[in-house]
Chains A and B, each alone.
Chain A
């Protein structure tokens, strides 16, 4: 069967950036800060990943899955009515919401599961916040017939009940995590504890560009298909590079996926939008760059939300996928270098963008992606109409309609939790 598009290339062909180093550092950020029992496992995954990238059969299998199973390439769509309403730059949406399972998460899930299979692992574990990464993991595990265990904070399970049911339909076991704030951070702790215990037969299919090396590099590699396509598409449609890229940043996988192939294009401005929650000054947010400090959490050094004694703070966001006190180390490095900027959008601003896109473009965006849209709504009017902005529409909003309905005062439309 012919390979339709060459979706994966060694990273040095995409950009001048030659990071991380072989210990996983982006300057001072990154690394692999894990208990000793996990060090051999982490190193094994790193070595296997590098070998796989050199193997044409692996790359061909990945390309084929991305094309035929995920449905790539995803379209680059000009949001004409919304752009005109805002009055300014043209806004282009990279439609990752149209992927199989409805978000960008499937891109790194198909890549990692191929690696897990290649390594002979029989059991897959993952954490999930909004449920999109859990659904993507359960999906690819079902397809390859591998045992799948998903850790999810009990608070997130309530917020994303439909996704919990979806994972169960796909044959995954969903384990509620009751520690801490019962959200994504706690789910990662639980997954790490599982992995320490079952390290021989288990692959940890981590869902973002955080965690220990090689995940920030590996997930970036699998996600950078987004940016490579977007770069080609915008050149085809406008004959030049875009003026700005915008993506939401929880851990930062969709953002790095879009940014990475453009990092060498110095005139393309990069904006990663964090969750401002109830406002950074309220203390109830997930804005690690404006409200956090440099520290070590869950395997890597980056910007994190913690107090002066080093205790991790709970984050807050209306969107479960951005509700995390850490951020990918490469974003920390891009921030430090001044290559990317990291503004924040509040819950209210994200909700307003959610409604605008639904009304004007007939697209329900994920609440996570709505944060990127909210910043686009601020940036576009400040630019002239000959400028182009690409927003990563990282996921669809169907999973969020219960949350939005509750905010609108509509009590639960269906009590999904009771029917599980």
Chain B
């Protein structure tokens, strides 16, 4: 089920393309943590972003707080509410990325947002500000690819990528349409449900990701339900990257003291990095380890 040779070089450019190129050279898979910007406050998020990179993150997905996050489960919904209680909104998130870029010019940052904050700011205005802040891509949770052309025009004018999701029940003809509009990577949702649910069946995910990879040249990264080293490693057997959100946000919420929370998040991510890299190392000497 795994690939018998290295995949074609992804055509994605910019920081995200560079990132996958580096990973490909070393035979490693991308580890992509998600945190909600402003949870528990903007300063902590800035520290956390650097922590995540130190713990092995290749790309960071940064959630834009929204009052009605319908695709998210209670863990991330509460993170949105904590951030909103601090008054954190889209302009603050863009400033946060600008601050992050003072010390990190390499790690791609993908904003994950519901459409309304972007819509209210205006597609052009958002794209200009996001590009100037050092954002690399936007993933709009509730915008179907087929209806995204106006947003895509604005994003592309500023050399920003649009990351789209593919669900387990997305039919093939829509996958083609999504992949033709998408950039950066394809976010393969691992099960039908909301974020943070425990419905992950790694065998199913592996089969679907393998099928998906045949349909696109973009890197395919899988997320939803990945919560520890074992699940991250299992998914990374076939996926180009592994996205982890609720498991980190949960750690973050479990500690009163910020320092302890930061340590716990780093430790959780580092455990996943280690499990994924061990698997990659075991695979590298011979290509004969087909599952």
Q: Residues of A at under 8 Å CB distance from B?
A: 23, 31-37, 39-41, 179-180, 185, 189, 192-193, 196-197, 199-200, 293, 295-299, 301, 304, 306, 308-312
Contact = CB atoms under 8 A, between A and B. Distances in A.
Most buried by B among A185, A189, A296, A297: A296
15 contacts: A32-B144, A35-B142, A36-B164, A36-B166, A37-B71, A40-B170, A179-B77, A196-B70, A196-B71, A199-B192, A301-B119, A306-B120, A309-B117, A310-B120, A311-B65
Interface residues of B, number: 41
For the complex of A and B, the 8 pairs showing the least CB-CB separation, nearest first, are A310-B117, A309-B89, A310-B120, A35-B71, A37-B167, A36-B165, A310-B116, A36-B167
B54 to A, nearest CB: 31
B197 interface: yes
B142 A34 contact: yes
Interface of B: 65-68, 70-71, 73, 77, 84, 89-91, 114-121, 141-144, 146-147, 164-171, 174, 178, 189, 192-194, 197
Given A32-B147, A39-B170, A196-B70, 4 more contacts: A40-B169, A197-B194, A197-B197, A310-B89
A33 B143 contact: yes
Contacts of A180: 67-68
A241 B174 CA distance: 47
Q: Describe A's contact surface by its main secondary structure.
A: mixed
Most buried by A among B67, B178, B189, B192: B67
A308 B120 contact: yes
Nearest to B69: A189
Given A36-B189, A311-B84, A295 B119 contact: yes
A37 B189 contact: yes
Given A40-B170, A200-B192, A296-B116, A311 B142 contact: no
Contact of A297 (B68, B73, B166): B68
Contacts of B142: 33-35, 296, 299
Nearest to B168: A37
B167 A40 contact: yes
Contact of A192 (B65, B70, B147, B174): B70
Given A36-B164, A37-B189, A40-B174, A311 B67 contact: yes
A37 B142 CA distance: 10
B4 to A, nearest CB: 30
Given A39-B174, A295-B116, A310 B66 contact: yes
A37 B169 contact: yes
Most buried by B among A34, A179, A309: A309
A34 B144 contact: yes
Contacts of B169: 37, 40-41, 199
